[in-house]
Amino acid sequence: MYEHTLRKHMRRQGGARTTPRKCQDHLARTEKKKRSRVLDEILLDSLQQTDGTEMLMLYYRLWDVHDVAVLLCFTLYMCHQARAISVQSSQRSLTRSVQEAAFFSVDVACNCSPTIQWTFMSGSVSRAIGVWRPGAFVNVTADYSSRVEAHDNGSMGLADLRLPDAGYYVVTVADETGGSKDVGFVLKVNEVLYEDLQYLSVSALALACLAALLMLAMWLLDKAYRRIVAWRRRKQMPENDATELQPL
């Protein structure tokens, strides 16, 4: 039957001008269209004779394995997107001075309950700062227990900065399924130079001495002015003639 159909198709297409390979491709496309029409007719009959649940089951039964795999991949992708971790931060680089405080601001968004971990790195040094889960537990290492403030949105405050605190800070947010996301920060700590404080203290002392000298000069000038005014008044007053007593 297939050979008869193939010869018939070759005669329609002009015999020698059409190769058997092309005829086979054309017949395959024709058969696929026929199957598609048959499936559409079956679905239409099912829609008229059965309820929606049975028709849906029949529809999925007629699917190819490839279509089912695509659907499963799409479903897994949507589930992954629904559980995706989002970590946002407005400032990744901070500059502070010694004994000041630094605030590493982040905003963690996750449908599940995330675990937040902060780590300090500088050169070959890597040191854990703390791990916490919002509303569950807070575990800060002994080196940072008195200086770290943990926040539920993933942010961290670090007080009483020191020169060794300069370096990289990494926050790792992990969900219950094992997924995680990292965000890094750079902290620069400036040293307060005691020479500058010395210069400021000497300048303040010099200004205080200058102000004292000016006040002393004004006091002396006021005293001199008062003496001059009193001397002029005495000079302008007429001299009293001595009254001689006449003998009786």
Residue 198: count of CB within 10 angstroms of its CB: 10
Given a cut of 70, whether residue 104 has pLDDT beyond it is yes
Whether the model clears a pTM of 0.75, i.e. scores above it, the answer is: no
Range 193-218 average pLDDT: 83
Q: Is 170 helix (H, G, I), strand (E, B) or coil?
A: strand
Residue-wise pLDDT tens digits, 151-161:
988 999 999 99
The half-sphere exposure of 24 on its side-chain side, counting CA atoms within 13 A, is 4
Say whether 215 sits in a helix, a strand or coil.
helix
Q: What is the pLDDT of residues 25-77, one digit of tens each?
A: 767 777 767 766 766 676 566 555 555 555 555 555 555 555 666 667 666 65
To the nearest whole percent, how much of the chain has pLDDT over 90?
Answer: 32
Q: Which residue has the higher pLDDT, 85 or 24?
A: 85
> Comparing C-alpha atoms, which of 159, 188, 195, 156 is closest to residue 172?
156
Asked if pLDDT for residue 105 goes beyond 80, the answer is yes
On average, the pLDDT of the chain sits at 77
How far are the Cα atoms of 107, 151, 154, 155, 205 from residue 133, in angstroms, in the given order? 14, 10, 9, 12, 54
